[in-house]
Amino acid sequence: MEPVTLDLTADVVDVCAQLVDIESVSRNERAVADAVEQALTPLSHLAVQRRGNTLVARTDLGRGERVVIAGHLDTVPLNDNLPSRNDGTSLHGLGACDMKGGDAVILRLAATVAEPVRDVTYVLYEGEEIESEFNGLGHLAADAPELLTADFAILMEPSDGVVEAGCQGTMRVEVTTYGERAHSARAWKGVNAIHLATPVLERLAAYEPRQPLIDGLAYHEGLNAVGIEGGVAGNVLPDRCVVTVNHRFAPDRSEADAEAFLRDFFEGYDVQVTDSAPGALPGLDRPAAKAFVDAVGGTVNPKFGWTDVARFTALGVPAVNFGPGDPMLAHKQEEFVPLDQLRHCERVLADWLGGGR
């Protein structure tokens, strides 16, 4: 394949269109990483490192504060939505919203803010849209955490150009009931495991979500059956029924708290944790976070979904989501990013990095 070049002197909208047009479905990020590397390497104010298809570009100006600004380079699979299309108001195409809009802002900042008042570590990474084991930010956190050391981090996932702080944790459990098989013509000889699951669904249907206020942000928990499975044959009482439940918990609770809550909630049933990720507290009391929120206008929303923000929190770095694009459009065929949000995010961040010019 012919190498593609990126022109970072172009407008942020054009940079975004260039990025969208380099197909980079997860596990196929080489071309986009090559292009990013070639575009960043000539910039003399940045030290660029590459690990796999993840790029880290750092200023080293000896400032009193360092911030990370990060975005993933991969997208969900193609869905007949390339190449990009600019309708004058929005840029459409695979990844425009999630999150090549954010990436374009990052690359424009890297190219144009040569003397930031805060040292900056730009991170453009691979493998966010698939299993956690492929996540380039996770690899950095595990293998070279010193590259992520900072006072504050901004993850440029789509957030409609508004700061979203913290994120909720997520835990999946399997709640299993056990019966006894019998021919359905003689049901009284057995015990129906699906019928035994009735109280499990009753408890779920009656669940009232906690909506705690944390650092002034109203979170909203959730508890949902995301799967149910039972059945042996059309004439057999099943001896096993599994309800898969996903709990989303506000960041004032740890994974241990969440597990204890679930074990109590489903008391009397077999509960197995199959998957878990901690939430992240907003951390808005930290000076770097406060300064950023003030700089971008003061509006902060809670983040309900889980994002890589939690990886920074786990490293002790307060982090927020802040990026162009409507998060509800992520992973949709018709995703797009509004041009004015691209320009707004670039301007706000350039001002903040430049010292409030």
Residues with catalytic function: 74, 128
User: Is residue 230 within the footprint of a copy of itself (CB under 8 A)?
Assistant: yes
Stretch binding a copy of itself (CB under 8 A), from 77-85, 129-137, 226-234, 312-320: 226-234
User: Is residue 134 within the footprint of a copy of itself (CB under 8 A)?
Assistant: no
Residues whose CB falls within 8 Å of the CB of residue 23, separated by 6 or more in sequence, listed in order: 31, 75, 78, 82, 94
x/- contact string, 268-287, with a copy of itself (CB under 8 A)? -------x------------
For residue 37, give the nearest of 55, 23, 19, 14 by alpha carbon: 55
Total residues contacting a copy of itself (rule CB under 8 A)? 45
User: Is residue 184 within the footprint of a copy of itself (CB under 8 A)?
Assistant: yes
Residue written as tokens 């597990």?
A: 259
User: Is residue 248 within the footprint of a copy of itself (CB under 8 A)?
Assistant: yes
User: Is residue 213 within the footprint of a copy of itself (CB under 8 A)?
Assistant: no
**Euclidean distance between CA atoms 274 and 119, whole angstroms:** 40
User: Is residue 238 within the footprint of a copy of itself (CB under 8 A)?
Assistant: yes
| Per-residue DSSP letter, 114 | S
Q: Which is nearer to a copy of itself, 174 or 215 (CB)?
A: 174
User: Is residue 52 within the footprint of a copy of itself (CB under 8 A)?
Assistant: no
Stretch binding a copy of itself (CB under 8 A), from 19-27, 193-201, 280-288, 336-344: 193-201
- Count other Cβ atoms within 10 Å, centred on residue 268: 8
CA distances 113 to 26, 119, 181, 348, Å, are 29, 11, 69, 12
In the complex, least distance from residue 235 CB atom to a copy of itself, rounded to whole angstroms: 6
**Euclidean distance between CA atoms 219 and 300, whole angstroms:** 12
Residue from 21, 138, 306, 348 in contact with a copy of itself (CB under 8 A)? 306
User: Is residue 83 within the footprint of a copy of itself (CB under 8 A)?
Assistant: no
Q: Which is nearer to a copy of itself, 61 or 194 (CB)?
A: 194
Residue from 170, 176, 313, 321 in contact with a copy of itself (CB under 8 A)? 170
**Euclidean distance between CA atoms 101 and 88, whole angstroms:** 15
CB 321 within 8 A of CB 155: yes
Question: Residue 179: in which H helix or E strand, if any?
Answer: none
**Euclidean distance between CA atoms 288 and 294, whole angstroms:** 10
Stretch binding a copy of itself (CB under 8 A), from 8-16, 127-135, 244-252, 284-292: 244-252
CA distances 42 to 29, 65, 108, 130, Å, are 21, 25, 14, 31
Interacting residues toward a copy of itself by CB under 8 A: 168, 170, 172, 183-188, 192, 194-195, 197-198, 201-202, 204-205, 209, 220, 222, 224-238, 241, 243-244, 246, 248, 275, 304-306
